[in-house]
Structure 1
Amino acid sequence: MNPVIHFEMPYQDATRAAEFYSTAFGWQTQALGPAMSNYVVVNTCDTADGRPTQPGTINGGFFEQTPDSPAQQPSVVIAVDNMQAAIAKVISADCSILGEPMHIPGVGSYVSFLDTEGNRIAMLQALRPA
């Protein structure tokens, strides 16, 4: 099975979103800046080496809403072992891949797709530990 390992939610105002989730739920946020498309990493639980320490918990991130990107809605990220094989399975199910896989430095390969119900979901093939 391929587990859900991350969530993502769009924002219009990164500071406002970070402050809300920090105040309401105690989440910790880290803005990555323009070099990383203004992505905001969100920790919802204790972590070690960037990974949740409590089984069953996940962390996530906030992405900036832009007028030229499709399906900007909350979504989940699914771990895959082989990005190309996973893409082939998604396509064979008559679903759409949204762009090309992108490399996230220190993390791995990432791509979003639309599932059979029109939901934006993403896949991540994590880098192998050295």
Structure 2
Amino acid sequence: MGRVIGFELNSQDPEKAAEFYSKVFGWEVAEPHWDYREVATGSGVKGIDGGIAKGPHDYPFGTRIQIEVESMDESIAKAVENGAMIVRDKMEFDDFYLAYLVDPTGLGIGLIENKR
């Protein structure tokens, strides 16, 4: 089962967004890494963490959930078979793979496969 493990807030002014969410909701926002700021939404309480990023040209602003999958390749194939569009195909990072899709209704999602 694909589990929602995070979120990504895309903004053309990520510094201002980070300041807003930090001041209003007490989120802990890390320094940028790859123009992405990790966000902790609750210290010691259950919640979903995520990040704030400068929105790329293909998704300049908005919110995407991140869904953990067992197999990136199988999940992308199944999503496309069911009407999704690939925005950014499988990308490799140190500890995980990441891809961005748009579902058949136009909602943006991220897929994450952790390296084992």
| TM-score normalised over the length of structure 2 | 0.90
Aligned ranges 1:112-127 → 2 under 5 Å: 112-127=100-115
Total equivalences in the alignment: 116
Cα distance in 2, alignment partners of residues 91 and 29 from structure 1: 34
1:49 alignment counterpart: none
2:31 alignment counterpart: 31
| 5+ long unaligned stretches in structure 2 | none
Q: Secondary structure at the match of 1:10?
A: strand
2:10 alignment counterpart: 10
Amino acid at match of 1:94: G
1:41 alignment counterpart: 38
Runs of 4 or more above 6 Å deviation: none
Cα distance in 1, alignment partners of residues 9 and 59 from structure 2: 13
Amino acid at match of 1:64: K
Q: How far apart are 1:54 and its partner, in Å? A: 4.4
Cα distance in 2, alignment partners of residues 29 and 104 from structure 1: 21
Amino acid at match of 2:78: K
| 5+ long unaligned stretches in structure 1 | 47-52
Taking only aligned residues, the RMSD between alpha carbons, in angstroms, comes to 1.7
| TM-score normalised over the length of structure 1 | 0.81
